[in-house]
Amino acid sequence: MGIMHRFANPTRFLKIANAVLPWTGGLTVLLLGAGLYLALLNSPPDYQQGETVRIMYVHVPSAWMALFVYLTMAVASAVALIWRHPLADIAAKAAAPIGAGFTIICLATGSLWGKPMWGTWWVWDARLTSMLILLFLYLGYIALVNAFDDPNRGYRAAGILALVGVVNLPIIKFSVDWWNTLHQPASVVRLDGPAIHPDILLPLIVMALAFKLFFVTVLILRIRSEIAAAKIRNLQLSLARG
């Protein structure tokens, strides 16, 4: 707990974030470039899906990130509600639009993949429906956190929603195992190891790492922006009272 509260100071956090940002930004560009090359030019077509498999290199990492960002947002909300960590609420608020963006990309690319493979843009199966619910949770959080004149009330209401919505994450993850759905089961994260060819697995992992670093980079930028906005807001309140 001492380490966690040590980084509650915005100045200390910004000092570390400013040092980390060039590295995460640079690695994001490098890995994204390498991932796109491997995915679009170097990897072979799938024996069943053909060239359509290339959509997977964006769809799957986006799905992973949609879940990861929401879990990050929920943990930050829990820290803020329980320990009143001043930067935790800001981190959750900063993460929400990024997670919503990943979820939209996941749903859009899933529809593009579903049309040639399933013959339809959308089916109301458990995986797709629960991902759509995840998008609504993100949008609900964003709406709540900005719905009050008092930021603390907005953070509290949105934080409670984020924690309640965590129940949707295992539903998304295990829906293909619990119910009969059109969506294929897990082929990368399995107890007996990945079930896809290394030539396809490598670009998928590289793209996943690129997306993860992209999230960290944009999160730092958004937290810096939120801290600056909070300072301006406090200064305006001080001038108004003075």
What pLDDT is attached to residue 191? 42
3-class SS of residue 148: coil
Higher-pLDDT residue of 101, 1: 101
**What pLDDT score does 69 carry?**
98
Give per-residue pLDDT as tens, 134-148.
Answer: 999 999 999 999 999
DSSP assignment string, 104-134: HHHHHHHHHHHHHHHSSS----HHHHHHHHH
Fold of 23-181+205-241: Four Helix Bundle (Hemerythrin (Met), subunit A) (1.20.120)
pLDDT, tens digit, 9 for 90 and up, residues 200-241: 889 999 999 999 999 999 999 999 999 998 888 878 888 888
Give yes or no for residue 2 having a pLDDT over 70: no
Cα atoms in the 13 Å half-sphere on the side-chain side of 23 = 5
pLDDT at 53: 86
Give the pLDDT band (50/70/90) at residue 16: very high
pLDDT per position as a tens digit, 78-100: 999 999 888 999 999 999 999 99
